[in-house]
């Protein structure tokens, strides 16, 4: 599974590909300050339950740490993951 982050202006996304086939996507927006807003997660049906969403989230968390920014998880999936996973709470926007 390959996960890449792509950004354009004030939007971005992490995309998961499995042999050139899209497995999932997590989108975010950048309001121009010190945080990003994760607003949507989608995983292709054949990849449900395989941890694709979590891998996408970890890729965005890694990027947030590199840029020293926080994450506001408005997407229900990302929000639930932040409540469940202690190892990513350092980038959660208070």
Residue 49 counted as domain residue: yes
Looking at residue 33, what is its pLDDT? 85
75: containing domain: 2-87
Residue 50 counted as domain residue: yes
Mean pLDDT by 10 residues, the chain (94 residues): 96 97 98 94 98 98 97 98 98 96
Residue 93 counted as domain residue: no
Strands in the chain per DSSP E:
2-8, 11-18, 21-29, 35-43, 70-73
Looking at residue 75, what is its pLDDT? 98
Q: Global pTM?
A: 0.96
Residue 12 counted as domain residue: yes
Task: Give me the residues paired with residue 12 across strands.
Answer: 7, 28
Looking at residue 32, what is its pLDDT? 84
Q: How many domains does the chain have?
A: 1
Looking at residue 63, what is its pLDDT? 97
Residue 49: give its domain's CATH number. 3.40.630.30
Looking at residue 52, what is its pLDDT? 98
């Amino acid at each position: 599974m390959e996960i890449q982050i792509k950004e354009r202006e004030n939007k971005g996304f992490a995309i998961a590909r499995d042999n050139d086939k899209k497995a999932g996507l997590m989108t975010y927006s950048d309001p121009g300050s010190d945080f990003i807003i994760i607003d949507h997660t989608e995983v292709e049906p054949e990849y449900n339950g395989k941890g694709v969403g979590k891998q996408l989230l970890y890729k965005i968390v890694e990027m947030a740490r590199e840029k020293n920014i926080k994450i506001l998880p408005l997407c229900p999936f990302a929000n639930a993951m932040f409540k469940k996973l202690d190892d990513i709470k350092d980038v959660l926007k208070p």
